[in-house]
Amino acid sequence: MAADKTYDAIVVGAGSVGNPTACFLSQAGLKVLVLERRPAAGQGDNKAAIGGVRATHSDPGKIMTCGESLKIFTNWEDEYGFSVGWKPGGYCFPVFDDQIEGVLKGILPIQKSHGLEIDWVDADRVADLCPGIIRENLRGGTYSPIDGQVSPLLAPVAFQREAQNNGAEYRFNERVTGYLRDGAKVIGVKTGQGDYHAGETILATGADAAEHGVLLGLEIPVVPDVHEAGISAPVEPFLKPLVVDLRPGPEGKTANFYFGQNHEGQIIFCYTPRELFPGTNRESLSEFLPILANRMISLIPRLKNLLIRRVWRGCYPMTPDGVPIIDRVKGVDGLMLAVGMCGQGFMMGPGVAKNVTSLIVDGTSTLPDEVHACFRFDRDFWAAKTEALK
């Protein structure tokens, strides 16, 4: 029984946000405890990610946060000698119609204004980046070479190792059942195995954020829905960028789909359903493979010869406006929210973790105030959505 231990910070959840947060907090010298209900780090929706990491969003907060993530991921192996499976190659959005061309070209100025290396490329260049792509009606597309892919399997191991090297303590198979309060202030957590005290408690509970909100007496507007993904056996490297096809599918089920070849040579793929699957059922559906196979083969016919190895589902913890919550809660000291990553937790995680560390250690965001404003807990979540590219 590890009752009544005291830490500087307790991170609840060792997923795509909690795990790097523990890493950077412990690097900053804090005594950190990580509590995870699953048996190991990154075993929830983190490993369900397909691993794409791009800074090329349209929302400044996401652009800057993912820019930070990219920096961390690209340098990780040099800095720590442990591979996170980083594969450069960028993101390519091939375009076949006016409407999508308009959207993508429309956000280029804001993306460029944040220093992002992204531009419109012609059809030949897209065909060069995506060998075998159907040329009919291909108008070109956007390409952002500095984006890339990271292994959602290796990254959690990397962050956990570095956190533990800095003294962070991980406790697995231990579910947080309540929060310790001193008046309004959160002073720690309660689990089936004891109470743990800390000056700061960081909520990084992904799809379970709302349930933890209930324990805290807070309404955290995070509602999960489920997305499905799959992976092939490895093939000879031929596809550099992660490819996003924003066209809705003729079958009426897909809003868009995307895929890439990872550092192992495997093709990893996913689609955004037109009609969402709310909930947390992470078991696979029969309709996924026929729908996605048809879309992939219709875009790049040679993909039909891929041997398909595995499929799975993972949760997108959605906020009403599609933007995460990275904030303290007014009137509740000792609590930091880092939740509602809206399916982008893996790519945002390291950047969010840097931000949370800065908020806790220095009391300031890594982002300018006006940019960080979009992550505030007290924002109007139901204001008109302005983000063009989610």
Partner 1 sequence: MSDRRIDSHPILPPLTSERIDFTFNGEALQARKGEVISSALYAAGISIFGHHHKDHGPQGIYCVNGQCSQYTVVADGRPVKSCMVPVSPGMSVQSCEDHPALSEVEASASSPDVPDIEVQVLIIGGGPAGVCAANELGRLGIECLIVDDKQELGGKLGLQTHNFFGSVADCYAGMRGMDIGTRLAEEVGALPTVDVWLDSTVVGAFCDGKFGVAGPQGYRLVSPHATLITCGAREKSLSFPGCDLPGVYGAGAFQTLVNRDQVRCAEKLFIIGGGNVGLIGAYHALQAGIDVVGLVEALPRCGGYKVHEDKIKRLGVPIWTRHTVLRVEGDEKVERVITAAIDDKFQPIAGTERAFEVDTVLVAVGLSPVDELLVKAREYGMKVMAAGDTNEIAEASAAIFSGKITGRKLARDLGFDVPIPSDWESFGEMLKHHGSEPVAYEAPVIDTPVYPLLRCVQEIPCNPCIEACPHDLISMPGSILALPDFAGLCEGCGQCVIACPGLAINLVHNDYDPTGEKALLTLPFEFEDEVIPFGAEVVTTDMEGNEVGTGTVIAVRKREDQDRRKLLMLEVPGTDKFLVAGFRIREPWQGEPVEGEAPDADPMVCRCERVRKSEIVTAIRDGVRDMNQLKAVVRSGMGGCGGKTCTELVMRLYREEGVDPSEVTQPSIRPLVAEVHLGDFVRTSDKEGD
Q: What are phi and psi of 82, to 5 degrees?
A: -130, 125
DSSP state at residue 384: P
Cβ nearer to partner 1, comparing 85 with 221:
85
Query: Is 272 among the residues that bind partner 1 (CB under 8 A)?
Result: no
- SS3 assignment for 234-290: CCCCCCCCEEEECCCCCCCCEEEEEEEECCCCCEEEEEEECCCEECCCCCCCCCHHH
Q: What angle in degrees, to the nearest 10, is found between the helix axes of 345-361 and 60-80?
A: 90
Cβ nearer to partner 1, comparing 108 with 311:
311
Binding-site member from 127, 297, 361, 388 for partner 1 (CB under 8 A): 297
Assess contact for 342 and 206: CB atoms under 8 A: no
Q: In the bound complex, what is the minimum distance in angstroms from residue 103's beta carbon to partner 1?
A: 25
Binding-site member from 112, 310, 330, 385 for partner 1 (CB under 8 A): 310
Pairing of strands 140-144, 91-95: antiparallel
Assess contact for 54 and 116: CB atoms under 8 A: no
Give the binding range for partner 1 (CB under 8 A) out of 101-109, 120-128, 146-154, 347-355.
Answer: 146-154
Binding-site member from 286, 378, 380, 383 for partner 1 (CB under 8 A): 286
Structure tokens, 61: 């907060």
DSSP state at residue 29: T
Restricted to residues 9-38, the positions that interact with partner 1 (CB under 8 A) are 38
Coil, helix or strand at residue 333: strand
Query: Is 172 among the residues that bind partner 1 (CB under 8 A)?
Result: yes
Binding mask 148-167 for partner 1 (x = CB under 8 A): ---x-xx-xx----------
Binding mask 44-83 for partner 1 (x = CB under 8 A): ---x------------------------------------
Structure tokens, 312: 């799975």
Other C-beta atoms lying within 10 Å of the C-beta of residue 277 = 16
Cβ nearer to partner 1, comparing 41 with 356:
41
Binding mask 215-254 for partner 1 (x = CB under 8 A): -----------------xxxxxxx------------x-x-
Binding-site member from 102, 106, 115, 132 for partner 1 (CB under 8 A): 132
The amino acid sitting at 198 is A
Residue 298, CA atoms < 13 Å, CB-side half-sphere: 16
Cβ nearer to partner 1, comparing 99 with 238:
238
- By CB under 8 A, name the binding residues for partner 1: 38-43, 47, 132, 134, 151, 153-154, 156-157, 172, 232-238, 251, 253, 265, 281, 283-287, 289-291, 293-298, 301-312
